[in-house]
Structure 1
């Protein structure tokens, strides 16, 4: 989502479209989906749309009035683990697991 935010902020969100499907999708629908996606990952729950609002925004061509703010992405190392442990967690309850080969 960080790359999507960067491109959205630069006015280049169309660059998020995979070239293999670029000819078969509507750029307007892609931009609407990116806008809604950015609204859904807002840091404050009060800034996130309800699911009924998400469905409405995706199904209708009306202008989406809320402008997304920069999403917060916070990842910290769990300091209670042994130094060899590579489990990383996020403050927003997202778990990222790293694979270790034997």
Structure 2
């Protein structure tokens, strides 16, 4: 049985990982620009901003938190290749170029 402290720490860690400025600023902006069609944009945000990360957490918890258990069902080479692509996408291809500083 999980202790309350473990559940609290894991819950706060997940909150810190997934809640950012995009979840604070983006929904009101989408509502503003969507006008009277705000409900459709709300459903889209709930599916993509909440639903997909939640599905990811559930899937990885069902696979003991190991990517190899998840992607390895297709094949070992696929698992390694997809892992490399994901790490490249997270770091050098997307995050690092966004943080480039221009000092003049």
TM bucket, shorter chain: under 0.3
Q: Which has the higher strand share?
A: 1
Q: TM-score, normalised by structure 2?
A: 0.27
**Which of the pair has the greater relative contact order for Cα pairs under 8 Å at 6+ separation?**
1
